[in-house]
Amino acid sequence: MMNRKKLVVFVAIIIAFIIGLGFISKGSIFTKSFNKIENQNHNIYFKYNLISHKIKPKFLGEPEAMIAIDAKNGQIVYAHNENKPEKIASLSKLMTLYLVIQKAQKNHAWNQIVNTTNPNLVRMSHSYDLGGFDFKQNHKYTVKELYKAALIRSSNNAAIALGEWVAGSNKKFINMMNQQAKIWGLKAHFVSSSGLENSDLKHYGYNQVGNDNDGNEVSAKDIGKIAVYILKAYPSIVDDSIQAVTYDGDQTIYNENGLLPGKEFYDPSLGVDGLKTGYTDSAGLCFVGTGKVKGKDRLVTVTLNDDDEFSNTIKLMKFVYKNSTLYK
């Protein structure tokens, strides 16, 4: 009788252990939800559904490359030099933030403190041209605060600190960026988490192997894909990217997206709520725009090495809404 009871207890323990393993492997409800979105990302097939070439928009200047993508189904409705690799400056931060979001969501880590004491990063943070968000002595910054600084203010030091938080080192994080690009089938070359080129990074010890001119190079099509992926995985990113001015941590940060409400190029008919600006001398003006018009799918646009990124984004969005069969 005792042996039978022991057997029952033993079997019950084994069953509980197996169930426990299953629970651990599947993780929390949120983790399962995020993994489902990850799988959905790989099922987005970016195919062409171009507006007739007989109809051509008139842009200001000559943008080096442009694309417009329906964010819901991945259909490409406008393209110009979309496969040509270009320097993308701070548009790089979309890949950085995707990986940050992935870790923060899965580990419920938005309120974790990020190490911002590296003297080189502190020095960069005080640079008017290269910083964007001061790392102040004896002040601790959370993942969420630095995420907003990188997204809204385009802070380079915030992006680098976040990358080190994700991977443990800057070099390991850049490897992660390139690996994620391969997973998505992108032809991308990343050397920094911020979008700065080696010529700027070398002054702070963050330059990678290569010459001073080396920088992140991605095509308009592939940066458009990254934007679609991050919008799919974390749709509430637009709740942050739409903020023209916000108080983050212990300082005010200003959004340089000129298409937002209250900004110079704001057009209420386009519903623009993001997403990312970029500029370096070699990359020129770059912009990933996104907007949602009532009753229509979300639109993502990319313009690279442009002279007037906001005016041309307006022209591109209006051209798509007027002429694409997807938006009739």
pLDDT digits (tens, 9 = 90+) for 173-197: 999 999 999 999 999 999 999 999 9
- Quote the pLDDT of residue 3: 54
How do residues 9-19 score in pLDDT, each as one tens digit? 454 444 444 43
Q: 57 lies in a domain?
A: yes
Q: Which residues are catalytic?
A: 90, 93, 154
Give the number of other CB atoms < 10 A from CB of residue 103: 15
H or E segment to which residue 124 belongs: helix 119-125
Q: What's the pLDDT band for 45 if we cut at 50, 70, 90?
A: confident
HSE, side-chain direction, 13 A CA sphere, residue 314: 14
* Higher per-residue pLDDT: 225 or 46: 225
Kindly state whether residue 92 falls inside one of the protein's structural domains: yes
Residue 41: pLDDT band with limits 50, 70, 90? low
Q: What is the mean pLDDT of residues 97-122?
A: 97
State yes or no: pLDDT of 110 exceeds 50.
Answer: yes
What the block records as the tokens of 86 is: 């270009």
Closest CA to 286 of 271, 314, 307, 265: 307
Distance, in Å, from the CA atom of 56 to the CA atom of 320, rounded to the nearest integer, reads 11
Angstrom distance (rounded) from CA 288 to CA 253: 19
d(CA 86, CA 253): 28
Q: Which of 179, 208, 188, 187 is nearest to 196 (CA)?
A: 208
Q: Quick one: pLDDT at residue 177?
A: 98
pLDDT at 328 (0 to 100): 78
Say whether pLDDT at 27 is over 90: no
CATH assignment of the domain containing 155: 3.40.710.10
Residue range of the domain that includes 183: 39-259+283-327
Kindly state whether residue 12 falls inside one of the protein's structural domains: no
pLDDT of residue 178: 98
pLDDT at residue 44 is higher than 80: no
Mark the binding-site residues, compressed into ranges: 276
77-91, 238-252, 267-281: segment of lowest average pLDDT: 238-252
In the annotated binding site for substrate, the residues are 276
Residue 249: predicted pLDDT: 73
Asked, for residue 277, whether it belongs to a domain, the answer is no
Instruction: Give domain status of residue 130, yes or no.
Output: yes
pLDDT for res 274: 98
Whether the predicted pLDDT of 5 surpasses 60: no
Which of 38-42, 83-87, 237-241, 319-323 has the weakest average pLDDT? 38-42
Q: Is residue 212 part of a domain?
A: yes
Tokens 């002595």, located at residue? 137
Average pLDDT of the chain to the nearest whole number: 89
Look up residue 197 and give its two tokens: 């080129």
All residues at 6 or more sequence positions from 71 whose CB lies less than 8 Å from its CB, including other chains: 227, 228, 231, 232, 290, 297, 298, 299, 300
Domain-embedded: residue 264: no
- Does residue 272 lie in a domain region? no
Between CA 59 and CA 297 the distance in angstroms is: 24
Q: Which of 47, 161, 163 is nearest to 102 (CA)?
A: 163
Give 62 or 207, the one with higher predicted confidence. 207
Q: Is 274 exposed, middle or buried (0-12, 13-18, 19+ CB in 10 A)?
A: buried
Quote the number of domains for the chain. 1
